[in-house]
């Protein structure tokens, strides 16, 4: 997908991997330029982090929000001969076919009381802080990502949750079956950023993979890691449980790029990442 800049900007060619990015997924954005540097970018309010290769190609992870438009606006930050500029581009987006799931639960599950609501909002802010901090760190993972459990998937990402006949939320993770105490493993290399007991998520572990990418593992019966630990892909980090707001034991696995929730299964499609030739330096956008 070629993108022609303004007359004063270098010509760039844009490709993605996969060839068409799906809504609610993460993939690679590759920018090839004949001259100059791609120093960063923005998508859906989140910064993009590009790494250079030897052939004037700059690669960055890009997240596509659920219900994104058919053409996702992306802004690139370019540096050429000491001069800075921006280049807006549009990235095609494929639609995802999300399912509906009907659940019958006690009213307190569907509508927490006021005290629980305050607690939930506070815990959401704690998890968002993990993502904000991650945006300021270099990429830690090298891939490939792995499944946290090799068991039956009981609920997929994007499923609309209908509680007692009313759509209440969308399922922004992937659920895996498991008995209490069954092992849960890190999907990729990273640093344990948060271990906490939340109202909704129960005992949860968040792993910061750097450059804005975070995975979370919810409803655990125990955590086998502590905040600050560096973990590798496949390392045991905890055990399946039924803590938090759940109807039975399982693992709820989430992935976020900044504030954008994406299907964690899309991480498995990312090809192995070779070592970068440094990080493109340029303007920082707040």
Whole-number Å distance between alpha carbons of 189 and 141: 5
Most confident by average pLDDT, 82-86, 181-185, 245-249:
181-185
Confidence of residue 1 (pLDDT cuts 50, 70, 90): very low
pLDDT at 275 over 80: no
- Domains identified in the chain, total number: 2
- The answer to whether position 15 is within a domain reads yes
Model pLDDT, residue 166: 58
- The answer to whether position 248 is within a domain reads yes
pTM equals 0.87
Indicate whether 77 and 119 sit together in one domain.
no
Model pLDDT, residue 247: 87
Whole-number Å distance between alpha carbons of 182 and 222: 10
Indicate whether 78 and 144 sit together in one domain.
no
Compute the CA torsion angle 27, 151, 205, 168 (nearest 10 deg): 80
Indicate whether 84 and 167 sit together in one domain.
no
- The answer to whether position 107 is within a domain reads yes
- The answer to whether position 135 is within a domain reads yes
Indicate whether 104 and 85 sit together in one domain.
no
Model pLDDT, residue 283: 44
pLDDT at 164 over 80: no
- The answer to whether position 282 is within a domain reads no
Q: What is the pLDDT of residues 76-104, one digit of tens each?
A: 999 988 889 999 999 999 998 887 766 66
Indicate whether 68 and 162 sit together in one domain.
no
Tell me the three state secondary structure of residue 127: helix
- The answer to whether position 283 is within a domain reads no
Indicate whether 141 and 115 sit together in one domain.
yes
Range of the domain at 60: 2-94
- The answer to whether position 63 is within a domain reads yes
Burial (0-12, 13-18, 19+ Cβ within 10 Å), 58: buried
Q: What is the pLDDT of residues 46-69, one digit of tens each?
A: 999 999 987 789 999 999 999 899
- Look at residues 28, 263, 255, 277 and name the one whose alpha carbon lies nearest to residue 134: 255
Helix (H) or strand (E) holding 145: none
Indicate whether 128 and 88 sit together in one domain.
no
- The answer to whether position 280 is within a domain reads no
């Amino acid at each position: 997908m070629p993108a022609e800049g303004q007359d004063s900007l270098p010509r760039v060619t844009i490709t993605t991997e996969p060839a068409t990015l799906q809504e609610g997924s993460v993939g690679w954005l590759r920018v090839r330029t004949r001259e100059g540097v791609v120093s960063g970018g923005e998508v859906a309010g989140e910064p993009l982090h590009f790494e250079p290769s030897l052939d004037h190609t700059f690669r960055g992870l890009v997240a596509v929000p659920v219900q994104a438009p058919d053409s996702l606006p992306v802004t690139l930050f370019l540096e050429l001969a000491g001069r800075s500029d921006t280049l807006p581009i549009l990235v095609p987006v494929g639609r995802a076919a999300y399912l509906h799931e009907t659940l019958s639960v006690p009213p307190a599950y569907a509508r927490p009381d006021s005290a629980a609501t305050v607690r939930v909002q506070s815990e959401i802010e704690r998890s968002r802080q993990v993502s904000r901090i991650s945006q300021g760190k270099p990429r830690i993972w090298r891939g490939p990502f792995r499944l946290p459990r090799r068991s039956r998937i009981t609920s997929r990402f994007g499923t609309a949750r209908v509680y007692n006949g009313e759509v209440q939320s969308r399922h922004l993770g992937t659920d895996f079956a498991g008995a209490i105490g069954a092992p849960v493993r890190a999907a990729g290399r990273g640093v344990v950023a948060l271990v906490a007991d939340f109202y909704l998520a129960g005992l949860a572990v968040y792993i910061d993979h750097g450059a804005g990418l975070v995975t979370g593992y919810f409803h655990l019966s125990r955590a086998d890691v502590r905040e600050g630990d560096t973990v590798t892909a496949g390392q045991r980090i905890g055990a399946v449980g039924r803590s938090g707001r759940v109807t039975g034991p399982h693992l709820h696995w989430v992935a976020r790029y900044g504030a954008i929730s994406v299907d964690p299964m899309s991480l498995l499609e990312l090809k192995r990442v070779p070592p970068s030739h440094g990080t493109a330096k340029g303007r920082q956008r707040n």
